[in-house]
Amino acid sequence: MKIKVFFIAFIFFCTKISAQKFEGLALTPPMGWNSWNTFQTNISDSLVRGIADVLVSSGMKDAGYTYLVLDDGWMAMERDNVTGNLVPDPKKFPDGMKVLVDYVHAKGLKFGLYNCAGTKTCAGYPGTRGYEYQDARFYASLGIDYLKFDWCNTEGINAKEAYNTMSKALKTAGRPIVFSLCEWGDNKPWEWAENVGELWRTTGDISAVFDGYLDHGTWKQTGVMPIVDLQKGLRKYAGPGHWNDPDMLEVGNGMSVDEDKVHFSLWCMLAAPLIAGNDLRKMSKATNEILINKEAISINQDKAGMEGFLYKTKDSLEVYVKPLSNDDWAVCFLNRSHRPIQINYNWNDEIVTDTLFNKTMNAKEHAYKIRNVWTKSGNTDTKKPFAATLSSHDVIMLRLSVGISG
């Protein structure tokens, strides 16, 4: 008996010491805004204040966008030569960072910063290698809530160890900070990061290109649809508190409104973090409406946290499905081609079985009510086939709810 009790206590102890990250930080995919996709390193005090103001006035905060994250470029080129601490660039941030963090917090938002596991960040600023515990204490002293941690200049460094070290450093510093691993999927973080951070990038950098790449000569930025294709097989690794991150949003950054709608819908279907990357201060009404579509967001933020998947493809019509709480489903029809497609989808012939989460969508057994997330209309159900014409690079996003007997 004594041995049994000892054994149970030992297992409990081991679970506790390996339970390294803060619990409960991102039970649904994190939502916010990040400076990189539009501003790169051209960031400043006034930009942060302006973005924080618009996060509130545009309805984005109400829709769930919480984190305002400054990406690469916030630091001076050198650490403080006495303390070794990171130094906010005094030209960009003449009053330092703490006042900005306070400003953002006072708006009911949270604040994030960026650094890198390597010796320097991707843009050449001081990296964290060798300063993990010191930097974590620095972030905690500033009141930071989110850290994006990149992977440039890491030759000879083991990714799992490097991210583990930073995760432990954050935990030791004592302030709950969402830890966003940005290692581009090179070392399959989905296989080892569930207990290290709250989200991990699965691919290289996104670009505002719909179905191709942006070629920079020595490297390529990946467009929206190739990134979606690369998520195949990863859904089993995501769930509440630990998310696959197919990179930040490019909504409002140059694609057509329909393409932006597709991009946003798929990020919702993939239970991806929704981190806007456009200049919120100048966004159009159409961009704003996409970003704050609460019905789409509720599919992304569904508390069961089950990532969706590509159910079938037929002649450039792709059908994505996502199981939701209460046996609801989200369904997206996407036209990937350059011509309009006529959809004739007989729900009774399409029995979707999700063996991973043990969910079935079977309209033959019972009909579902249908709600169109973008047109915000209802009044239909799955008793009759779904018919619509879908233009090129456009999407129809539906929520199917149980509640009608078949």
Q: Is 250 in the site for ligand GLA (CB under 6 A)?
A: no
Within 10 Å of residue 127's Cβ, how many Cβ atoms?
Answer: 23
Burial of residue 171 (CB within 10 Å: 0-12, 13-18, 19+) is middle
Annotation marks residue 260 as catalytic = no
- Judged by beta carbon, residue 247 or residue 318, the one nearer ligand GLA is 247
Stretch that binds ligand GLA, among 118-126, 312-320, 322-330, 359-367 (CB under 6 A): 118-126
Question: Which of these is catalytic: 205, 279, 302, 381?
Answer: 205
- Nearest 5°: the CA angle 125, 283, 269 is 80
Q: Give strand ranges (E) for 50-171.
A: 67-69, 110-116, 146-150
Binding mask of the shown chain, residues 142 to 181, with x at each position contacting ligand GLA by CB under 6 A: --------x-------------------------------
- Judged by beta carbon, residue 114 or residue 190, the one nearer ligand GLA is 114
Question: Which of these is catalytic: 45, 150, 245, 247?
Answer: 150
Stretch that binds ligand GLA, among 119-127, 173-181, 297-305, 388-396 (CB under 6 A): 119-127
Within 10 Å of residue 185's Cβ, how many Cβ atoms?
Answer: 21
Distance from C-alpha of 147 to C-alpha of 74, rounded to nearest angstrom:
13
Stretch that binds ligand GLA, among 14-22, 47-55, 116-124, 368-376 (CB under 6 A): 116-124
Q: Is 89 in the site for ligand GLA (CB under 6 A)?
A: no
- Structural tokens at position 97: 């960072």
- From 56, 76, 123, 214, residue interacting with ligand GLA (rule: CB under 6 A): 123
- Judged by beta carbon, residue 72 or residue 394, the one nearer ligand GLA is 72
Give the nearest distance from C-beta 124 to ligand GLA in angstroms: 9
Distance from C-alpha of 341 to C-alpha of 343, rounded to nearest angstrom:
6
DSSP for 235-299 reads: GGG-BTTBEEE-----TTSSS-HHHHHHHHHHHHHTT--EEE-S-GGG--HHHHHHHT-HHHHHH
Q: Which residues form the interface with ligand GLA (CB under 6 A)?
A: 36, 71-72, 114, 121-123, 150, 182, 205
Q: Which residues are catalytic?
A: 150, 205
